[in-house]
Structure 1
């Protein structure tokens, strides 16, 4: 291992969730490497060791399950790194599939900054970090206040930073959703909806998150008669947030 800070590899293609992890870990004294695909992650592991791997399951190209298979087939790639599956799709069947020696812990999206930090500290045996002082949430936005309390440890400044990055990312999400619908690319639309449901819930928009979840299901079934109006409704809500 390097003598420098612990290296954490995040395999996640959603820019908003990449930002969330970056916010959570910025005060923990780690080096965060973020890559969008399993192939890129495996290439990085072949280049240099890491101490912790955080991976989503639903990724472009190969899935997180295929990453686990690849690490099981070639243990030297993982080395002594702990593997955490960080996903919004941890239903009972998925959890059962992930009962494997390569998987150290499961972490469900959305989670709080504190829970993510605690997971990383446990994995790397880090001491507790200095927490930011909580700041008051706007009293006229109950869902926002709840999101700040639940996911950002009461810190409105961190929430606002995350929200700003999400609003920028929504521009690209709108383009991607339109492209997926025009191309009848059900997998791409499902992957986008899967990411948006976690992001929207973390931002304090449970209604929009529920719509994204429904879109994920309909696009998984390639039910375009249902998915098309769902996307248009979700699109309007994303535009309104921007």
Structure 2
């Protein structure tokens, strides 16, 4: 009997722990996933070992994700080829064009679906039967409210949705504490970064109203003059996050 082919190695560059977990759960049967949170850490890992795919956010601590694309583009021809996919909440046409010129092969808009994530592995030698079987939403309390998110982002896999939701709920207290610290320190940049991540997580979970609040906070924190409007909106969002179960 032939030994099974090794799963492709994927490096995920994403500082939001909930989104890290979503990608890990979505691809864990199809690839070997390793995670890091910055461009510098990603480059360090890529210099040590090859990865068939790098899946990277753009808004990261320290250096912008486009610098990782530039680094990969400038590697010597002898280096093992690595497919780069950008995983971002929004891309202006000029940014997308610059990234394509650097060899970015694919773009995923946050929040992305399970199917979109799995499609990134096409051509990387993933066994045909590696994709997890999908579970249809089970009837019961809350199923109707969750159904649209399960269908849109999780390809009908209710089990994956529940697991991701549990991971997010476990992470929200840390997010609330981080937001409170940013407010007490008047750290506009930290709160901007946090709300940028939360808007995608909340939309993936199907909480569109809360995602809209996070998006508005992201917009307000881009302008330090709006700080007086930021505080009450953050308190409202933090209170809602704390009530999610």
- Shared fold by TM > 0.5? yes
Number of the residue aligned with 2:136: 134
Matched, 1:49 2:50: yes
RMSD: 2.0
Calculate the TM-score normalised by the size of structure 1. 0.91
Quote how far apart the aligned CAs of 1:179 are.
Answer: 1.0
Number of the residue aligned with 1:240: 243
Decide whether the 8 Å contact of 2:8 with 2:125 is kept in 1.
no
Question: SS of the counterpart of 1:46?
Answer: helix
Quote how far apart the aligned CAs of 1:181 are.
Answer: 1.2
> Counterparts of 1:1-242 in structure 2 under 5 Å?
4-28=6-30, 30-75=31-76, 79-120=80-121, 122-128=122-128, 129-136=131-138, 138=140, 140-222=142-224, 223-242=226-245
- CA distance 1:34–1:72, shift in 2 (3 Å): same
CA distance in 1, matches of 2:93, 2:13: 23
Decide whether the 8 Å contact of 2:134 with 2:156 is kept in 1.
no
CA distance in 2, matches of 1:18, 1:88: 14
Decide whether the 8 Å contact of 2:9 with 2:33 is kept in 1.
yes
* Structure 1: 4+ residue segments shifted above 6 A: none
Question: SS of the counterpart of 2:194?
Answer: helix
Quote how far apart the aligned CAs of 1:98 are.
Answer: 2.3
- CA distance 1:13–1:182, shift in 2 (3 Å): same
Decide whether the 8 Å contact of 1:57 with 1:63 is kept in 2.
yes
CA distance in 1, matches of 2:183, 2:53: 36
Question: SS of the counterpart of 2:107?
Answer: strand
Decide whether the 8 Å contact of 1:139 with 1:145 is kept in 2.
no
Decide whether the 8 Å contact of 1:14 with 1:195 is kept in 2.
yes
Quote how far apart the aligned CAs of 1:106 are.
Answer: 0.6
- CA distance 1:131–1:211, shift in 2 (3 Å): same
CA distance in 1, matches of 2:167, 2:32: 21
CA distance in 1, matches of 2:234, 2:74: 39
Note the residue ranges of structure 1 that are not aligned, 5 or more in a row.
none
Q: Deviations over 1:107-131 (max 9, x none)?
A: 11101111111122x2514344352
Quote how far apart the aligned CAs of 1:226 are.
Answer: 1.8
Decide whether the 8 Å contact of 1:137 with 1:148 is kept in 2.
no
- CA distance 1:202–1:175, shift in 2 (3 Å): same
CA distance in 1, matches of 2:56, 2:196: 15
